Structure 1
Amino acid sequence: MTENSARSSESEIIIVKTAGTTLPRRSRKADAESIDMRLLRTISGIVPADLPPISRLGLETTLAAMADASKAAIAADLDCWRDWCSEEGRTPLPADPEDMVRYLNALDARGKKPATLARRIASLGAVHRMVGLAGDTAPTDAPIVRAALKAVRRRRGARQRQAAPLRLGKALDPHLAKGFTLAALLDACGGDLQGLRDAALLSLGYDAGLRVSELSGVEDLHIDPQEDGSATLFIPFSKTDQEQEGAWAWLSAETMRRVRAWEDASGIEEGPLFRRVGVDRRRARQSEPEAALARTTYTIGTAPLTRQGVNGIYRRVAYAAYELGLVTLPAGKLDDAVKALSTHSLRVGLTQDLFAAGEDGTSIAQALRWSSPTTALRYGRKLAVRSNVAARVLSRVRG
């Protein structure tokens, strides 16, 4: 363990960087069991006893081609299906189409979103194909199941609740309502070690429009500084790049100043750039000699921030911005506004800012590595109206 300290006449600040260990965190079952094993264990618990032999090579190949997040989602969805079948006395595999309709109705009654229901059925279809129970078509493709999903979407609407956007704010749109913006959150970040990390994290995440998995994987070696102070960021892996071809994103000079400030203060030279920072503040006791100083110890971990960690930072800084008067919200709306923020908020905010600036969906999808312009349009549907063909033509003739 290495230790650097900076002293002043009033306090003592100690920065401790862990070596080969991580800060304490809540243990999770997934830490002790690979996601492949978890999925296989769940499947093996519900397959019929008379199931013909499954090709081991075929199963291993299928798992190798799937992203870990997809396998985790299938395992969780299969657990839910198994529990429902156990409660209702139904056979999990092969799934009966009418049982799946009853299952969908039960989930709908519990308030599950249409998108969640569609994913649960898609996961069941994937499992049937994995174990050779799909035949020409999986039972999840039965007309009665498709009709049940359509009925739920018609009844409740297919519109999904998206993460609240964190748009840039004053610099790009000075007329933006004084809700949570990136500018407000950056102004709320303190000058201590934790604040420097938070500011660099927020600024870089916005510029590059990163997903949380991409953000947590950023390392200094991925950043290529340019002569004008900006930089390009190499993104080695992403949700839409499972073959790891890599992609590039642009970083502003302001972001680079914040990144360098964090690196200089933390001493990070390699490994994940954004890590957990533990803070231990101890006040000097009045009974101690006057030479005794108040002490603040920052402990920097080695592991990258988790999704929950990033989400917690956004929300903590958002509350700080409100307390500092940087954000104006109606009475009683603060907690709801903070809860609406998520790890996707910066990506949604950048998408909306680009639409507001008049960029088209195809260009935005390319810049932010969306799989298609359709996804980008969903996040900027309202703002895209201001730059579509009708708005461009009619604004010239009708004012």
Structure 2
Amino acid sequence: MPMTNLPVNHTDSPLLITADKYDERVAENLHMFFVDREAASENTWAQMKSVLRSWGLWCKQFNKVWLPAKPEDVREYLLYLRETLGRKKNTIAMHKSMINKIHREAGLALPASHILVTRGMKKISRQAVLNGERVEQAIPLHLDDLFQLAEITQASGKMQQLRDLAFLGVAYNTLLRMSEVARLRIGDIQFQRDGSATLDVGYTKTIKDEIGVVKVLAPDVAGWLRNWLDASGLTDESTFIFGKVDRYGNAHPAANPMAGKNIEKIFAKAWEAVKGAPLESSRYRTWTGHSPRVGAAQDMALRGTELTQIMHEGTWKRPEQVMSYIRYIDANKSVMLDIVNSQRMKR
């Protein structure tokens, strides 16, 4: 059946591969999904496109129908990701979720919710545990690391390092995600008489409403931010706080948020300044975008902060992610450890 004539971003149109048994309702649902792409974050959209390409290529290779998909085909695909490509459990779970999402948006039954697929995922999860697979986490950026970087920055006085310190300080203090820090504008800042500052964040990945989120910067972090703004000469309230610094040390007003690849360079350069050479690791070799959130969560846990408060600070909705960050710290707070140690002291 022909698809409706709604406008679609030309970069997404190759994803709309026509299946044999489409009807006009499904076609229009899919068109509207792509037209309303702003309803999801860019990260979600990138994941969706990546999964659809992978799923579509697999279906083409093995002569399967990608939409509507059969549960047994989805199960086979997920096992293929694990057994042939060696993908991690979390990656496979994301593929399962996105295959369901495209069916939901099309108004079709959800193949990945079938018991066949559910059992397949349990099999994958059990194999991962038995094989000793652990979820890798970003290298934590701790408060001590930030103050060490501040000393290095103060000694150099370079424009780029002033920007980088301010960015990392804001990220750590607020526990905002990388893209959320990049989205802040000069007009979002209010410096206070006591040396602190407030940030009107607007929205985060997990909080999207008209009220928004307000974060308070400690005087040290607010000072780093003020130093960057004073040195850069940026004053227009509509300008993004963190923009380009050219090789001559000149700051340029940014009309768009800083790109992810450029933000990752901030973390890599900070690591080099404080720690030296990158680690020998399969994935995380330096600090990365999640490092401030991991480090801040651990620092709070070390100070005895309750889990609910840590979740509030980082706008986490579920405790599992936070627990994965602080699990080693919590292990050292074991009651049994205290009991055994107290008995040892009596001897």
Q: TM-score, normalised by structure 1?
A: 0.73
- Matching residue of 2:243: 275
Q: Is the deviation greater in 66-75 or in 193-202?
A: 66-75
Indicate if the aligned counterparts of 1:200 and 1:255 stay in contact, CA closer than 8 A. Answer: yes
Report the identity percentage.
26
User: In the TM superposition, what whole-angstrom CA distance separates every residue of 1:260-296 from its partner, at most 9, and x where no partner exists?
Assistant: 11111111113110112121xxxxxxxxxxxxxxxx4
Please say if 1:115 is aligned against 2:61: no
Shift of the alpha carbon at 1:105?
2.1
Structure 1 residue corresponding to 2:264, chosen from 308, 311, 325: 311
Shift of the alpha carbon at 1:147?
1.2
1: CA distance, partners of 2:211 / 2:31: 25
For residues 163-242 of structure 1, the aligned pairs below 5 Å read: 163-169=138-144, 181-189=145-153, 190-242=156-208
**What is the RMSD computed on CA atoms of the aligned residues?**
2.9
For residues 56-71 of structure 1, the aligned pairs below 5 Å read: 56=28, 60=32, 63=37, 65-71=39-45
**2:152 aligned partner, one-letter code:** A
For residues 235-250 of structure 1, the aligned pairs below 5 Å read: 235-250=201-216
**2:150 aligned partner, one-letter code:** L
Indicate if the aligned counterparts of 2:29 and 2:107 stay in contact, CA closer than 8 A. Answer: no
For residues 1-399 of structure 1, the aligned pairs below 5 Å read: 37=9, 41-54=13-26, 56=28, 60=32, 63=37, 65-108=39-82, 109-134=84-109, 138-157=110-129, 159-169=134-144, 181-189=145-153, 190-269=156-235, 270=237, 271-279=239-247, 296=248, 298=250, 300-302=252-254, 303-323=256-276, 333=279, 339-387=285-333, 390=335
Shift of the alpha carbon at 1:226?
2.4
- Matching residue of 1:11: none
What stretches of structure 1 of length at least 5 have no aligned partner?
A: 1-35, 170-180, 280-295, 324-328
User: In the TM superposition, what whole-angstrom CA distance separates every residue of 1:314-339 from its partner, at most 9, and x where no partner exists?
Assistant: 1022112245xxxxx8xx94677972
3-state SS, counterpart of residue 250 of structure 1:
strand
Indicate if the aligned counterparts of 1:166 and 1:348 stay in contact, CA closer than 8 A. Answer: yes
What stretches of structure 2 of length at least 5 have no aligned partner?
A: 1-7
Higher relative contact order (CA 8 A, sep 6+): 1
- Matching residue of 2:5: none
3-state SS, counterpart of residue 208 of structure 2:
coil
2: CA distance, partners of 1:367 / 1:188: 28
User: What is the count of residue pairs matched by the alignment?
Assistant: 326
Distance 1:261 1:337, change over 3 A: farther
Distance 1:305 1:63, change over 3 A: closer
Shift of the alpha carbon at 1:101?
2.1
Distance 1:392 1:221, change over 3 A: farther
The structure with the largest alpha-carbon Rg is: 1
User: In the TM superposition, what whole-angstrom CA distance separates every residue of 1:224-280 from its partner, at most 9, and x where no partner exists?
Assistant: 22222112222112100233531122211111111111111111113110112121x
Larger fraction in helix = 2
3-state SS, counterpart of residue 103 of structure 1:
helix
1: CA distance, partners of 2:196 / 2:209: 28
